[in-house]
Amino acid sequence: MAREQTVAVVGAGLAGCLLATLLGRRGIPVTVYERRPDPRVAGHERGRSINLAISTRGLAALEEVGLREEALARALPMHGRMVHPLGGEQNFQSYSADGTRAINSISRAELNMALLEAAEATPGVTVRFGHRLTNVDAEKGRLTLETPDGVVTEDVDVVLAGDGAYSAARRMTEGVEPFTHTQDFLEHGYKELTIPPVDGEFALSPDALHIWPRGNAMMIALPNLDRSFTCTLFWPKADFDALDTPRKVREHFEARYPDVVGLMPDLADEFARNPVGSLVTVRTWPWVRSGAGATVALLGDAAHAIVPFYGQGANCAFEDCVEIDRCLDETGGDWRRALSIYQERRKPNTDAIAEMALDNFVEMRDRVASPVFRLTRAAQHA
Ligand code: FAD
């Protein structure tokens, strides 16, 4: 009888946890290696986006593991954009003609936790925290991982790398010909701020994704269940550096975001304290490499990190997992064939969404405030 294949997932992020759950349900034992400590013990990592917009694509994937309703119960629907022009009235632009369609604002940490718990509750799934991948040897079929107790190696047949935009697994499989890889960084970075509740209530309408389009810069805000909003500034990196005193921060917000500056009591502190994140588009090919010992496949941001302006990175990562599961079904569990079909099917879709995400930055920071754009949308919905 053929030996059972040893399957490793790298990264217990959104994609890694969903994929491990799907594989466990299929009866495939899988070990997930995550570099961070267990968030239930160590708390959540700072400096990553606090909330995410999950749309139909993501919800359909979560439904596969029975988490759709749980996710929706922890989410707030946003039925449109609330645009805050400088010097004008805020205006609501519905996401659908009949006003019923919404995207859902959800805490990234809570969503990750729900997925992690689903993975761990699935027979056959083991999660090892504090295991940072440092090497993948596809010829020997071996992973090298750093742990608090020293370096360990694991023999594997299949490696599914969901280790994010700066994937270690991707770096280690690069350089084998033929290979293409680009990482395009925007000149813009992002920083998160908070609008706390006012007298226990939302300070802005909770039913919308708020946008302050300001030409080359913008701010957005998504509602949280605790009735706060998380604001994200998308600014040229030099603009963050220029505001190097509390007074400059306050004066800038009074001039550029006058309708919300009064709702941000910790503005100057948060601005100084919170990090500036980078925005990268990763295009790489192939996503799958087979050596004599193991097949290594990339998924999620490791394969196709995109800028967040279409709110589709996590949704796409989830779709990768469902596609891998589907391909295993279609090939009767033949990993090499399944992963080969997976990458061929997903790549055109993720390339397309990467371009749409870049285009949407221009639309969000500029065109949503223009009268022409609003007229066009009104005509589409008529
Ligand atoms: P990640 O979520 O990054 O998970 C990777 C995991 O791998 C992490 O747990 C990490 O600790 C682990 N890891 C990394 N390196 C190693 C290693 N060497 N060894 C072991 N483990 C490792 N998407 C949306 O769909 N909607 C949104 O509204 C949205 N908003 C966003 C806003 C911002 C500001 C940003 C930056 C992104 C946003 N995204 C959004 C994109 C979304 O966050 C990502 O697409 C999504 O998190 C990708 O999931 P992933 O599992 O591939 O990677």
ipTM: 0.99
Which of 9, 52, 220 is the pocket-test mutation for ligand 1 (most atoms within 8 Å of CB)? 52
Question: 134-168, pLDDT tens digit by residue?
Answer: 999 999 999 999 999 999 999 999 999 999 999 99
Residue-range domains of the chain with CATH = 7-78+107-182+281-365 (3.50.50.60)
Output the CA 97–ligand 1 centroid distance in Å: 32
Q: For residue 251, how far is its CA from the centre of ligand 1 (angstroms)?
A: 34
State which of 33, 48, 54, 163 you would mutate to test the pocket of ligand 1, scoring each by most atoms of that ligand within 8 A of its C-beta.
Answer: 163
| pLDDT of 178 above 90 | no
Burial class (CB in 10 A: 0-12, 13-18, 19+), 167: buried
**Which of 301, 306, 358, 364 has most ligand 1 atoms within 8 Å of its beta carbon, as the pocket-test mutant?**
301
Ligand 1 centroid to Cα of residue 20, in Å, is: 16
pLDDT of residue 180: 85
Question: Does the pLDDT value for residue 374 go beyond 70?
Answer: no
Residue 365 pLDDT grade (very low, low, confident, very high; cuts 50, 70, 90): confident
pLDDT over threshold 60, residue 47:
no
Query: Angle at CA 133, nearest 5°, toward 130 and 134?
Result: 125
How do residues 187-210 score in pLDDT, each as one tens digit?
999 999 999 999 999 999 999 999
**Bridge pairing between strands 229-236 and 180-195:** antiparallel
pLDDT band at residue 3 using 50, 70 and 90 as cut-offs:
low
Residues 6+ apart with CB under 8 A from 260: 84, 195, 203, 204, 212, 221, 231, 253
320 lines ligand 1 (CB under 6 A): no
| Bridge partners, residue 33, by sequence | 10, 128
